[in-house]
């Protein structure tokens, strides 16, 4: 894993300088603390920060072709590079390194812009073709690795992280309030928006072509649930056998590295699958890491211990207290570079720190299985709500919802009357592709009631859910309901939050590369051809994945109900009814007024409610975390007292 940055003189801008490139790449030193590399001419400047994973000896970037006319900087891993290299050598290409990066150069020579179709990996790539005077920027299919860009003064600047762009004084800094409202609805901004005005993110599965001053964005891959590929006559055993074989190969590929590789172990099905496949089908020593909580509501340590004993793994366990979350939260926001509505990324940053302290650089994780195989309660909830909508006056159909969310202390299914009101939200929009998400988005959108009157008057209090349509393919209306739900989940929560704030950013904060075998594009494409009854059988989620892993994972874990990873929220910022260190000043009436995003009186009332421990529901907790994180973004990236490009660990003490 690495960091990349660059500048292209696209329309009469000044030539990039080494000083600018150096400043940009050093701002993301945590992504690649093992060294820097540069390439520049009158048109283009490329910079690279290296985290040594593959080819420790001669893998310094930029990597070039034989005559130096093509230069590449790359953040990520190409897992099938060995097979690609063999094929390219047979075609007459000459390699000067053993790096996975070099296959990108020669694939481009061989296939042009179609080179991305041959890559199995997670990546953000910047490739300069000097003969064509062409810059190609590409991002992996699922959106695992980040890539941002902005256009100022005839130049296009790009980087792995926004702080790299902001290291240069010419780049304007301002929060995009419309994007903030997207976060307060969908949990993330919608591409191409980032939280900052003028700073855009390249969407997953896309490449950007900049040639002779013209910019073009091409979608080269997408989640596809076309009915033509589904074989309804194939036996469940055949599906299970192929799925197991495919997962074994995905895990084997993603274990490739010149450094030791570990795995996260949450105690749930997904991470248990990954660790069990490592144990049973590879020669890699099984080294695992897990997080636990002092609050029983969030803790899965018992299930983690059960699997550790079952597999005999060498294991490290990190116990996370509420105070740990509150203390580390500013550093999390420094790395996520965006507002968030949950604290869940924070324990994962602490966990990646434990991985670093154990001298590991790479971990495999189970993220993505729920989106691919239909694992979330939101999918089951939508299935019940659609069933209910066909007989809206039924008294027993909505009672099926009581079987959901057993892990929540304050479950929306706990009260019959409240449950009916809550889950009836959006029933009039059952024909909309986002029908499944309306209850969750409605809850999250309550954060917007805390916006200032000025913001509401300029931008409106809330967004229409229909803006999600800019992400949706034209053919989505012809898909099955579950597939619509999966697509939207994959292109909002997964790529915009789970793989970003809760994934890449908090792992790379400690120079750790996370890998995601369930997001191998072959696994995604295989699952997309699977009949939906094999994803959710009745209300049994991830049915086929469980079936495929029978005998590999203990039945007590394989058949347990889904318990999503969560962490304490607003209570992490208070001790004995008083706000911890930085909260008092950050949320003071003067500071809230100065920033201008939120209503000072409403914020003060929410703070008092949280201090008394009375913020019990999702809405209040998300509002408080959303306000704190937004104010931290303002403090760190926009205010005159921002800590420039410094690491902020320990900044708020």
- Catalytic sites, residue numbers: 2
In angstroms, the CA 63 to CA 127 distance is 9
Alpha carbon distances (Å) from 74 to 78, 136, 159, 608: 10, 12, 11, 47
In angstroms, the CA 104 to CA 118 distance is 9
| Structure-block tokens of residue 420 | 């009916």
In angstroms, the CA 216 to CA 233 distance is 42
Q: Which helix (H) or strand (E) holds 177?
A: helix 177-186
| Structure-block tokens of residue 360 | 């590991």
What residues contact residue 407 under an 8 Å CB cut-off, 6+ apart? 297, 561, 563, 564
| Structure-block tokens of residue 138 | 């590409």
> 83-92 long-range CB contacts below 8 Å, 24 or more apart?
84/118, 84/119
Q: What angle do CA 36, 196, 50 make, to 5 degrees?
A: 15
Closest residue by Cα to residue 149 from 211, 196, 110, 105: 196
In angstroms, the CA 591 to CA 594 distance is 5
SS3 127: strand
Contact 505, 345 (CB under 8 A): yes
| Structure-block tokens of residue 324 | 């740990």
What residues contact residue 197 under an 8 Å CB cut-off, 6+ apart? 172, 174, 175, 176
**Beta partners for residue 211, in sequence order:** 134, 214
Burial of 457 (0-12, 13-18, 19+ CB in 10 A): exposed
| Structure-block tokens of residue 280 | 């049973």
Alpha carbon distances (Å) from 66 to 20, 54, 94, 136: 28, 21, 7, 19
In angstroms, the CA 18 to CA 520 distance is 37
CA-based radius of gyration for the chain: 24
Residue 566: alpha-carbon gap to chain centroid: 15
């Amino acid at each position: 894993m690495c960091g990349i940055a660059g500048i292209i003189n696209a329309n009469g801008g000044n030539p990039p300088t080494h000083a600018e490139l150096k400043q940009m790449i050093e701002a993301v030193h945590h992504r690649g603390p093992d060294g820097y590399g540069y390439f520049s001419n009158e048109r283009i400047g490329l910079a690279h920060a290296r985290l040594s994973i593959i080819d420790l000896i001669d893998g310094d970037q930029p990597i070039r072709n034989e005559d130096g006319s093509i230069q590449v900087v790359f953040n990520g891993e190409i897992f099938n590079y060995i097979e690609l290299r063999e094929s390219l050598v047979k075609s007459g290409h000459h390699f000067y390194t053993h790096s996975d990066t070099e296959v990108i150069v020669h694939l481009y020579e061989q296939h042009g812009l179609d080179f991305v179709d041959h890559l199995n990996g997670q990546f953000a790539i910047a490739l300069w073709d000097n003969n064509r005077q062409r810059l190609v920027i590409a991002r992996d299919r699922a959106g695992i690795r980040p890539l941002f860009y902005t256009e100022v003064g005839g130049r296009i600047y790009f980087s792995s992280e926004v702080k790299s762009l902001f290291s240069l004084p010419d780049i304007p800094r301002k929060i995009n309030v419309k994007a903030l409202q997207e976060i307060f609805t969908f949990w993330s901004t919608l591409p191409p928006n980032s939280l900052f005005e003028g700073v855009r993110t390249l969407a997953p599965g896309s490449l950007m072509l900049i040639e002779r001053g013209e910019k073009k964005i091409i979608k080269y891959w997408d989640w596809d649930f076309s009915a033509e590929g589904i074989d309804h006559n194939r036996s469940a055993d055949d599906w299970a056998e192929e799925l197991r074989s495919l997962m074994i190969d995905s895990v084997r590929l993603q274990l490739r590295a010149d450094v030791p590789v570990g795995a996260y172990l949450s105690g749930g099905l997904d991470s248990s699958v990954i660790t069990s496949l490592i144990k049973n089908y590879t020669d890699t020593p099984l080294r695992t890491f897990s997080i636990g909580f002092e609050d029983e509501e969030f803790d899965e340590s018992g299930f983690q211990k059960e699997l550790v004993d079952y597999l005999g793994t060498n294991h490290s366990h990190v116990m996370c207290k509420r105070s740990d979350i509150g203390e580390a939260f500013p550093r999390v926001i420094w790395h996520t570079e965006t507002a968030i509505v949950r604290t869940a990324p924070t324990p994962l940053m602490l966990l990646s720190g434990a991985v670093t302290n154990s001298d590991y650089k790479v971990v495999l994780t189970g993220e993505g299985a729920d989106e691919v195989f239909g694992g979330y309660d939101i999918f089951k909830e939508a299935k019940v709500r659609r069933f209910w909508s066909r007989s809206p006056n039924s008294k027993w159909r909505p009672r099926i919802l009581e079987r959901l969310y057993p892990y929540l202390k304050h479950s929306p299914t706990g009260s019959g009357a409240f449950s009916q009101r809550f889950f009836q939200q959006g029933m009039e929009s059952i024909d909309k592709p986002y029908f499944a998400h309306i209850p969750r988005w409605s809850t999250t959108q309550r954060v917007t009631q805390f916006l200032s009157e000025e913001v509401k008057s300029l931008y409106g209090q809330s967004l229409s859910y229909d803006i999600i349509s800019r992400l949706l393919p034209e053919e989505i209306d012809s898909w099955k309901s579950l597939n619509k739900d999966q697509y939207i989940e994959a292109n909002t929560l997964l790529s915009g939050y789970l793989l970003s704030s809760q994934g890449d950013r908090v792992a790379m904060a400690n120079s750790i590369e996370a890998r995601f075998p369930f997001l191998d594009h072959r696994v995604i494409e295989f699952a997309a051809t699977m009949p939906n009854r094999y994803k959710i059988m009745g209300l049994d989620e991830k049915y086929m994945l469980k079936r495929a892993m029978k005998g590999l994972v203990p039945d007590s874990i394989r058949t347990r109900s889904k318990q999503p990873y969560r962490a304490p929220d607003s209570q992490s910022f208070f001790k004995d009814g008083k706000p911890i260190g930085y909260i008092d000043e950050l949320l003071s009436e003067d500071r809230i007024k100065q920033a201008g995003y939120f209503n000072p009186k409403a914020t003060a009332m929410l703070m008092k409610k949280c201090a008394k421990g009375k913020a019990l529901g999702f809405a209040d907790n998300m509002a408080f975390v959303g306000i704190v994180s937004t104010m931290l973004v303002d403090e760190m990236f926009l205010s005159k007292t921002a800590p420039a490009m410094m690491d902020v660990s320990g900044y708020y003490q």
